[in-house]
Amino acid sequence: MELLMALALFTVAAVSLAGALNLISLTVGESIDDAEIREQLRAAVLEATRDPAIKEETRETNPNERGIYFRIEVVRLDLKNDQGEGLSNLYEVKVTAMRETPDGRTEALDTAMTYANANLL
Amino acid sequence: MPPRSSSRKAFTLLEMMLSVAVFVLLVTSAFSLVGATSELMTEVSEVQNEAAQRMRFIEVCRAAFESMTGNSSLEFHYFDRSGGRFDTYLALVDAPDAFDFGANTQDEIRRVVLAAEIQSGGYIRTRVYYMDDLSFDEAKKSDFQQHDAPHVELIPRMRQLSWRFYDPLTREWKQTLDGNLKSNLVELTFQIDASSPPMRSVYWHLNGGGR
């Protein structure tokens, strides 16, 4: 009985340790993936906002090796101040990182949004 | 002499053998567990290191492009080394703070050149060369194969590195900076190790040259 209990304790400890290590490695992998997605989002936002020929559009990039692609939505804003003067050439740029799951669903991983003025740069 | 007690307690041979077997089992399991743990931690550490290296490289490049002023410009040179594999040289002209690791201290240095050079085994070595006009002209004459410009090595072994330049007129990315392309967006795609996918990054910079 004592022997069995000792073995059971050891097994529980070993399984817990393996589980904890697996969780650590998964967390590290996810944080690296997140950092890479943020960098891709930054690149896509920069590409869309610094384009002198910015225009209203919605487009998607090709999926990368991990099946992640980016939807870039550029919407022209029609804003006016209290005096009724229009703020021309202002665009809202929204980039969403998307991924197709193995069961066919599409999930949004992260989003970045900013405003861009076509005549600013 | 006292008589030997026949009721004296002791382990039987079976119990001893069982104990030894369990002990061996536990020790073996412990060792294999420690080995597997160590291996996993080494792999995690390698992955983390490579990710950190990728991010550092991107940040160093971003800082360099952001340091360009209205007087700065870009030049791009490439040379076929072996069967379609190119050495590429992206020169940041009149950008004195670009890739400033303390090596770019001379006033006459006008070009900071980010070089991606094919090495034996197909790997790419990335270096930053600091060149004045004279050393740049001499290097260009020899297709960048004979020069002794001061340099800083960024990443000694890389699988892939390529540049593209955004053409705002056609809204396309171009492989070269030929003609009168005035590009303010630069795309870098690189892969340090085969186990990780290529990484894409985009930089914006001021461009006074308009090559």
Strands (E), B26-150: 73-82, 85-93, 111-118, 124-131
pLDDT single digits (tens) A65-102: 888 999 999 999 988 888 888 878 889 999 999 998 88
Enumerate chain B positions whose Cβ falls within 8 A of a Cβ in A.
Answer: 18, 22, 26, 29, 33, 36-37, 40-41, 43-44, 47-48, 51, 54-55, 58, 166, 168-169, 171, 184-185, 187, 197-204
Rg, C-alpha atoms of chain A: 24
Strand-pairing partners, residue B89, are B77, B115
pLDDT single digits (tens) B15-44: 889 888 988 988 898 888 889 888 988 988
| Helices and strands (DSSP H and E) totals, chain A | 1, 4
Contact A46 B204 (CB under 8 A): yes
Report the C-alpha gap between B43 and A55 in whole angstroms.
45
| Residues of chain B where predicted confidence (pLDDT) is lower than 50 | 210-211
Contact A32 B200 (CB under 8 A): no
pTM for the predicted model, two decimal places: 0.83
- Cβ-contact B85, B118 below 8 angstroms: yes
Contact B36 A18 (CB under 8 A): yes
A10 vs B contacts (CB less than 8 Å): 26, 29
User: ipTM strictly over 0.85?
Assistant: no
